[in-house]
Structure 1
Amino acid sequence: MKKKDFIGKKALEAELARGSEWEFVGIDIQWTELENHYRNVGLAPGLPATAWRTSTPLYKGNKQVGYATSGCWSP
């Protein structure tokens, strides 16, 4: 933080000192498990062909543990 004072500098310095509450992670989805979830409700899997940019909640069991802000399918 070598720049002169600017709006938000103190907040950024505090976050650098304590660490961020946010984390950048990747999501690995197993195709067979996803396919089973669709099958259990009588649907064929339908995946988007383009990137998505909507907030999507992520769950571990029945507890929401975060959310994805964007994504795309890749091999």
Structure 2
Amino acid sequence: MMFYVLLSTVVPSYLASSLVLKANVKKRFTRTDMTELVIPVLRTTTYQRSFVIAGSKFWNCIPTSIKTSKTLTTFNV
């Protein structure tokens, strides 16, 4: 739910710069790239467990139909 709110509203710049959609990086992209986040290269175990990385991995596992929900209420259902 936290990532839905972060991606669907205006967020602080330090979080916005950490959450990058694949569609913004790749020249050719698929429909799923419009909702999937880029996972940066990880060098330490501590960084792998950070909020941004763990949350991004979890977000990418959620089906696209759920990620594209129009409201937070429908996302939660």
Q: TM-score, normalised by structure 2?
A: 0.24
Q: TM-score, normalised by structure 1?
A: 0.24
Which has the larger strand fraction? 1
Which has the larger helix fraction? 2
- Bigger-Rg structure (1/2): 1
